[in-house]
């Protein structure tokens, strides 16, 4: 009869040791560069932050040492992302409501859910190409070509699947009893949805939507030939119909410039972009964890 | 090879000496002393939360899989404390098999379900023969001899549980632990598994946790009654302990403890 | 009774309320069909815009690598090759790393808190915009790997993949930055699939004396395989469509080379580079390339969805 004691030289135990170390090595290879990446971006970008950064226009690339600031790009990102949200949120939430509340799992809703997944997998640059063909090259928007509006539309295509999905899934988590309770006292379907189901799914939908917005804010590919880029302050409503800068495109353009001053501006813009996206993510994570905890009690 | 640390009577295969088990800071069961006899079927009974399943899982170190679970005391098997640092839990589980509450066949064919365990235990004999004999011992052969290549999940719940028993028998353990093996089954399947257990008794030692006192009475030679009480030094929660351990006949006919009497007569549980 | 009923003035549903209900339902129906409309719109628009180039160059477009706006000669082979090579090779590196990491954070090698921190950190990284990764690749990764590439070339130049002198940005860097991008996706999905494997299967294997890695390899990984596969396919789709980081580091050259150490092209980086300034038949050719990219990612995506559906019913 074998001894119960652990025997190092057993092939089984050697194998176990080997694979355990292998998975530790995998985790290290995966995580160390990622930690390095984040700290580097935060350190390198953070050291470029000055008050003027937020108020100045960027100077056109050249030999002069002062690159200026990123004000137009910062405002541009806010505007373009807002346009995208204004389009994608109502359409997405409305579509999600149909899928979760009205559809009965028939062919149509299966097709739409399938379409949502496919659209989520469409490369972001294709969204840019599509809007370019539809809006930019046709000058359909009052004769303007590249514009912040077109950029926002391109981004909204990327946001739409996220919004529909989170709405659909958030509503599906609402227990049916709640719906029956409302319908049972004679409320109509739309009152039930607006007053009962939607509010109780609000937090999970909001979290998903906010994460979707954060992701869209960092997207570059759909903007480079729809919104293009601009060096100038955004002064009024009319600027929506002209080229508009954004943090993401600024990083792209200035990273490829041979001048150190522009490169530094790209790092500064990265810092702001990454910091805001990460804080939105972390905040929603904490919120989600918190809700889960309170629910359990 | 075998180092005997302590003198234990010859027919004792497994003995708990002052075992206490906690999950983190929560103490589940305290100061258990208990000897399991070779070739016997021993039932562990008691109200829920008394730690009987915890004790059962500690016997082949399945508790290792539960985070924060810690054990004090010694569990002697074959003269060795299985909680000794030098002991390999995998080795322990090869000699003390376990059947779980929920039938849990692998998502493989019926044949593979049995061959898998045998193979990892280094079985070199005739696999077909082993599969057949294991299924026969678990009283499942006649029902599935024509569909050995079907998935284990194609069987009914009771059949799945017997497949799990066959899988455990196939690795030729010395002890089989069963954690409420019939709680998820219908009465007919339960009866079949009880018959199987009577057959298995000839070759194996069986320790079974059951909620069903009739089952304990029907199948077991020895019965251990666990109970849970609030200790003064505890944090208010109930802690399990071994209240009485004796032959099944004595436990059910003339229990020494009052709580045992109350439990088997259905006053609580 | 009669008197009491009159207190509820809405006891009878007014026509208007019924109408609102119907309008509400139909609006949401229309909104949900927007997804289908946009998807179809994208496919049709890209297809029709590429029609000119398609009728002119046909399938030859896919296998020639001449890209000359002056002579009006277009072939996207370099870009298609680059897309496939960068995405497949990056996945080849990512899969073992990602699955290994996922196993590490689903087993109990380290305390749960540490595992959860690692897990959410990896997830957070998926949120970093690819343009920022591109910036990092240009200024940190490229200098860091320069010596290594020289080494690769000096010792392995008999392998076609390393046959050229390394000069700054190249396809191998694009592959490495793709690994950084895909790792969070593959790790997160692999972790979720591993966590979904019922605990009773693990108990079953441990209960008959299987060692930890025997259990992982013969029970847990096979049960999680379909989920991991679907995740890998999604990552493949992402890799093929990924634009910014790749465009910034791949070197953007249409000259075909087998070597990973020379500058290359992918379809998406070609689009990002040329779309803004193209005109005439070049635009149509770019649309043709975009169409190819779209078909590639659609096929991968639909296959992934099919896989999820086919295997999700198993347990």
Q: What per-residue confidence (pLDDT) applies to A40?
A: 93
B66 touching chain C per CB within 8 A: no
* Residue A4 belongs to some domain of the structure: no
CATH number for the domain harbouring residue C193: 1.10.3720.10
Nearest CA in chain C to B66: C108
Does the structure show a pLDDT above 90 at A258? no
C16 touching chain A per CB within 8 A: no
Under the banding of pLDDT at 50, 70 and 90, the label for residue B237 is confident
* Residue A2 belongs to some domain of the structure: no
* Residue A143 belongs to some domain of the structure: yes
Q: In Å, how far is C159's CA from the nearest CA of chain A?
A: 26
Judgement on whether residues A69 and A116 belong to the same structural domain of the protein: yes
Mean pLDDT of B76-104: 89
Work out the percent of chain B whose per-residue pLDDT is above 70: 95
Does the structure show a pLDDT above 90 at A274? yes
Q: What per-residue confidence (pLDDT) applies to B184?
A: 81
* Residue C38 belongs to some domain of the structure: no
Question: What would the pLDDT profile of C252-278 be if each residue is shown by its tens digit?
Answer: 888 888 889 999 999 999 999 988 788
Instruction: Quote the CA–CA distance of A124 and A237 in Å, as a whole number.
Output: 27
Chain C residues touching residue A125 (CB < 8 angstroms): 241, 243, 268, 271-272, 290, 293
ipTM of the shown complex: 0.91
Question: What would the pLDDT profile of B159-199 be if each residue is shown by its tens digit?
Answer: 999 999 999 989 889 999 999 998 888 888 888 889 888 88
Who has greater pLDDT, C157 or C35? C35
Q: What per-residue confidence (pLDDT) applies to B1?
A: 39
Neighbours of chain C (3+ CB pairs under 8 A): A, B
Judgement on whether residues A93 and A74 belong to the same structural domain of the protein: yes
Q: In Å, how far is B102's CA from the nearest CA of chain A?
A: 26
Integer angstrom CA distances of residue C136 from A63, C128, C268 = 23, 11, 19
Best of C37, C131, C263 to disrupt the A interface (most A CBs within 10 Å) is C131
Who has greater pLDDT, A125 or A7? A125
Judgement on whether residues A20 and A92 belong to the same structural domain of the protein: no
Query: B86 and A2 in contact by Cβ < 8 A?
Result: no
Q: In Å, how far is A2's CA from the nearest CA of chain B?
A: 7
Q: What per-residue confidence (pLDDT) applies to C7?
A: 64
A5 touching chain B per CB within 8 A: yes
Does the structure show a pLDDT above 80 at A285? yes
Under the banding of pLDDT at 50, 70 and 90, the label for residue C91 is very high
Strand, helix or coil for residue B45: strand
Query: C132 and A219 in contact by Cβ < 8 A?
Result: no
Q: What per-residue confidence (pLDDT) applies to C176?
A: 95
CATH number for the domain harbouring residue A192: 1.10.3720.10
Does the structure show a pLDDT above 70 at C220? yes
* Residue C46 belongs to some domain of the structure: no
* Residue A213 belongs to some domain of the structure: yes
Q: What per-residue confidence (pLDDT) applies to C163?
A: 84
Neighbours of chain A (3+ CB pairs under 8 A): B, C
Judgement on whether residues A39 and A135 belong to the same structural domain of the protein: no
Which residues are CB-neighbours of B223 under 8 A, at least 6 positions away? B42, B43, B44, B45, B216, B245, B246, B247, B248, B251, B252
Does the structure show a pLDDT above 90 at A103? no
As for how many domains chain C has, the answer is: 1
Size of interface A-B (CB pairs under 8 A): 33
* Residue C142 belongs to some domain of the structure: yes
Under the banding of pLDDT at 50, 70 and 90, the label for residue B269 is low
Under the banding of pLDDT at 50, 70 and 90, the label for residue B208 is very high
Q: What is the mean pLDDT of chain A?
A: 88
Judgement on whether residues A140 and A24 belong to the same structural domain of the protein: no
As for how many domains chain A has, the answer is: 2
Instruction: Quote the CA–CA distance of B256 and B244 in Å, as a whole number.
Output: 8
Judgement on whether residues A17 and A141 belong to the same structural domain of the protein: no
Judgement on whether residues A57 and A119 belong to the same structural domain of the protein: yes
Mean pLDDT of A114-127: 93
Selection from A286-295, B222-231, C174-183 with the highest mean pLDDT: C174-183
Task: Yes or no: say if A234 and A72 are a contact pair by the CB < 8 Å rule.
Answer: yes
Judgement on whether residues A63 and A140 belong to the same structural domain of the protein: yes
Query: C211 and B90 in contact by Cβ < 8 A?
Result: yes
Work out the percent of chain A whose per-residue pLDDT is above 70: 96
Q: What per-residue confidence (pLDDT) applies to B8?
A: 56
Mean pLDDT of A202-224: 91
Phi–psi pair at B151, nearest 5 degrees: -65, 145
Query: A248 and C180 in contact by Cβ < 8 A?
Result: no
Question: What would the pLDDT profile of A73-87 be if each residue is shown by its tens digit?
Answer: 999 999 999 999 999
Integer angstrom CA distances of residue B196 from B38, B143, B161, B163, C241 = 18, 14, 11, 11, 60
Chain C residues touching residue A112 (CB < 8 angstroms): 32-33, 35-36
Q: What per-residue confidence (pLDDT) applies to C1?
A: 47
Judgement on whether residues A161 and A107 belong to the same structural domain of the protein: yes
Concatenated DSSP letters for C205-236? Answer: HHHTT--HHHHIIIIIHHHHHHHHHHHHHHHH
Shortest CB distance from A98 goes to which of C28, C124, C268?
C28
Q: Which two tokens stand for residue A17?
A: 């040791």
Judgement on whether residues A66 and A133 belong to the same structural domain of the protein: yes
* Residue C15 belongs to some domain of the structure: no
Concatenated DSSP letters for chain A? Answer: ---SB--TTSHHHHHHHHHHHHHHHHHHHHHHHHHHHHHHHHHHHHTT--HHHHHSPBPPSSS-S--B--HHHHHHHHHHHHHHHHHHHHHHHHHHHIIIII--S-HHHHHHHHHHHHHHHS-HHHHHHHHIIIIITTTTBTTB-S-HHHHHHHHHHHHHHHHHHHHHHHHHTS-HHHHHHHHHTT--HHHIIIIIIHHHTHHHHHHHHHHHHHHHHT--TTTTTTT----S---SGGGGGS----HHHHHHHHHSSS-HHHHHHHHHHHHHHHHHHHHHHHHHHHHHHHHHHHHH-
Q: What is the mean pLDDT of chain C?
A: 89
Judgement on whether residues A277 and A219 belong to the same structural domain of the protein: yes
* Residue C21 belongs to some domain of the structure: no
Q: What per-residue confidence (pLDDT) applies to B4?
A: 47
* Residue A282 belongs to some domain of the structure: yes
Q: What per-residue confidence (pLDDT) applies to C13?
A: 63
**β-strand partners of B42:** B207, B222
Does the structure show a pLDDT above 90 at C187? yes
| Nearest C-alpha neighbor of B72 from the set B22, B7, B108 | B22
Does the structure show a pLDDT above 60 at A8? yes
Concatenated DSSP letters for A61-117? Answer: SSS-S--B--HHHHHHHHHHHHHHHHHHHHHHHHHHHIIIII--S-HHHHHHHHHHH
Query: C134 and A252 in contact by Cβ < 8 A?
Result: yes
Question: What would the pLDDT profile of B3-14 be if each residue is shown by its tens digit?
Answer: 445 555 678 899
Tallying the residues shown for chain A, one arrives at 297
Q: What is the mean pLDDT of chain B?
A: 88
Does the structure show a pLDDT above 50 at C8? yes
CB-CB neighbours of A169 under 10 Å: 16
Task: Yes or no: say if B148 and B159 are a contact pair by the CB < 8 Å rule.
Answer: no
Question: What would the pLDDT profile of C93-120 be if each residue is shown by its tens digit?
Answer: 999 999 999 999 999 888 888 998 888 8
Judgement on whether residues A81 and A27 belong to the same structural domain of the protein: no
Does the structure show a pLDDT above 80 at B142? yes
Q: In Å, how far is B89's CA from the nearest CA of chain A?
A: 8
Does the structure show a pLDDT above 70 at A233? yes
Q: In Å, how far is A159's CA from the nearest CA of chain B?
A: 39
**Which range marks the domain in which residue C68 is found?**
56-311
* Residue A78 belongs to some domain of the structure: yes
Q: In Å, how far is A87's CA from the nearest CA of chain B?
A: 47
**Which range marks the domain in which residue A192 is found?**
52-293
* Residue C20 belongs to some domain of the structure: no
């Amino acid at each position: 009869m074998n001894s119960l004691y652990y025997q190092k030289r057993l092939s089984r135990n050697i194998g176990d040791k080997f694979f355990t170390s292998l998975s530790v090595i995998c985790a290290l290879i995966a995580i160390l560069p990622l930690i390095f990446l984040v700290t580097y971006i935060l350190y390198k970008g953070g050291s470029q932050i000055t008050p003027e950064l937020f108020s100045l226009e960027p100077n056109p690339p050249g030999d002069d040492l002062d690159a200026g600031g990123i004000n137009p790009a910062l405002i541009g990102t806010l505007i373009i992302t807002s346009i995208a949200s204004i389009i994608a949120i109502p359409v997405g939430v409305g579509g999600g409501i149909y899928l979760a509340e009205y559809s009965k799992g028939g062919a149509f809703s299966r097709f739409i859910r399938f379409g949502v997944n496919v659209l989520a997998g469409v490369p972001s640059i294709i969204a840019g190409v599509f809007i370019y063909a539809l809006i930019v090259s046709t000058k359909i928007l009052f004769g303007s070509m590249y514009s912040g509006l077109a950029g926002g539309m391109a981004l909204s295509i990327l946001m739409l699947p996220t919004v529909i999905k989170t709405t659909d899934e958030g509503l599906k988590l609402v227990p049916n009893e709640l719906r029956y309770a409302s319908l049972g006292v004679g409320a109509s379907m739309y009152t039930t949805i607006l007053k009962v189901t939607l509010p109780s799914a609000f937090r999970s939908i909001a979290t998903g939507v906010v994460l979707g917005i954060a992701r869209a804010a960092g997207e570059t590919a759909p903007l480079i030939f729809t919104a293009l880029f601009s060096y100038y302050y955004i002064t009024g409503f009319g600027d929506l119909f002209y080229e508009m800068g954004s943090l993401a495109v600024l990083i792209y353009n200035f990273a490829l410039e041979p001048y150190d001053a522009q490169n530094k501006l790209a790092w500064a813009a990265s810092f702001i972009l990454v910091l805001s996206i990460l804080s939105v993510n972390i905040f929603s994570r904490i919120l989600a964890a918190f809700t889960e905890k309170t629910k359990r009690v | 090879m075998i180092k005997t640390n302590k003198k234990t009577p010859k027919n004792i295969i497994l003995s708990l000496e002052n075992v206490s088990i906690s999950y983190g800071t929560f103490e589940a069961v305290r100061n258990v002393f208990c000897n399991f006899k070779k070739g016997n079927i021993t039932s562990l009974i008691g109200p829920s939360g008394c730690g009987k399943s915890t004790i059962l899982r500690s016997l082949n170190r399945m508790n290792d899989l539960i985070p924060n679970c810690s054990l004090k005391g010694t569990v002697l098997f074959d003269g060795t404390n299985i909680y000794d640092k030098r002991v390999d839990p995998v080795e322990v589980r090869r000699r003390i098999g376990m059947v779980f509450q929920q039938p849990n066949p692998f998502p493989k064919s019926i044949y593979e379900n049995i061959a898998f365990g045998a193979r990892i235990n280094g079985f070199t004999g005739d696999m077909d023969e082993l599969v057949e004999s294991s299924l026969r011992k678990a009283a499942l052969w006649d029902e599935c001899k024509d569909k050995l290549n079907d998935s284990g999940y194609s069987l009914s719940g009771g059949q799945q549980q017997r497949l799990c028993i066959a899988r455990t028998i196939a690795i030729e353990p010395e002890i089989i632990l069963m954690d409420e093996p019939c709680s998820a089954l219908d009465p007919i399947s339960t009866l079949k598994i009880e018959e199987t257990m009577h057959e298995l008794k000839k070759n194996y030692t069986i320790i079974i946790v059951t909620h069903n006192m009739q089952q304990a009475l029907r199948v077991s030679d020895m019965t251990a009654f666990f109970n849970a009480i609030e200790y003064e030094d505890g944090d208010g929660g109930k802690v399990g302990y071994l209240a009485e351990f004796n032959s099944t006949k004595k436990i059910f006919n003339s229990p020494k403890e009052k709580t045992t009497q109350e439990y088997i007569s259905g006053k609580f549980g | 009774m009669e008197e009491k009923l009159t207190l509820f003035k809405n006891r009878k549903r007014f026509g208007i309320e019924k109408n609102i209900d119907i309008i509400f339902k139909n609006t949401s129906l229309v909104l949900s069909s927007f997804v289908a409309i946009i998807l179809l719109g994208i496919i049709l628009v890209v297809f029709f815009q590429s029609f000119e180039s398609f009728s002119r160059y046909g399938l030859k477009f896919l296998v020639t690598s001449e890209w000359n706006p002056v002579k009006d000669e277009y072939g996207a082979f370099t870009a298609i090759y680059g897309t496939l090579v960068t995405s497949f090779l990056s996945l080849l590196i990512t899969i073992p790393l990602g699955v290994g990491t996922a196993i590490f954070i689903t087993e109990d090698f380290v305390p749960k808190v540490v595992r959860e921190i690692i897990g959410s950190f990896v997830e957070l990284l998926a949120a970093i915009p690819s343009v920022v990764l591109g910036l990092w690749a240009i200024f940190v990764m490229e200098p860091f790997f320069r010596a290594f590439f020289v080494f690769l070339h000096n010792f392995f130049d008999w392998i076609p993949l390393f046959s050229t002198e390394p000069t700054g940005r190249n396809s191998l860097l694009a592959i490495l930055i793709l690994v950084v991008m895909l790792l969070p996706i593959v790790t997160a999905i692999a972790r979720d699939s591993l966590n979904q494997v019922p605990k009773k299967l693990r108990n079953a294997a441990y209960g008959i004396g299987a060692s930890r890695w025997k259990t992982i390899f013969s029970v847990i990984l096979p049960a999680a395989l379909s989920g991991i596969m679907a995740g890998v396919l999604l990552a493949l789709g992402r890799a093929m469509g990924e634009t910014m980081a790749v465009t910034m580091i791949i070197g953007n050259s249409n000259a075909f080379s087998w070597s990973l150490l020379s500058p290359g092209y992918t379809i998406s980086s070609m689009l990002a580079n040329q779309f803004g300034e193209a005109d005439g038949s070049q635009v149509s050719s770019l649309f043709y390339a975009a169409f190819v990219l779209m078909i590639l990612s659609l096929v991968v995506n639909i296959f992934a969805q099919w896989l999820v559906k086919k295997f999700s019913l198993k347990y």
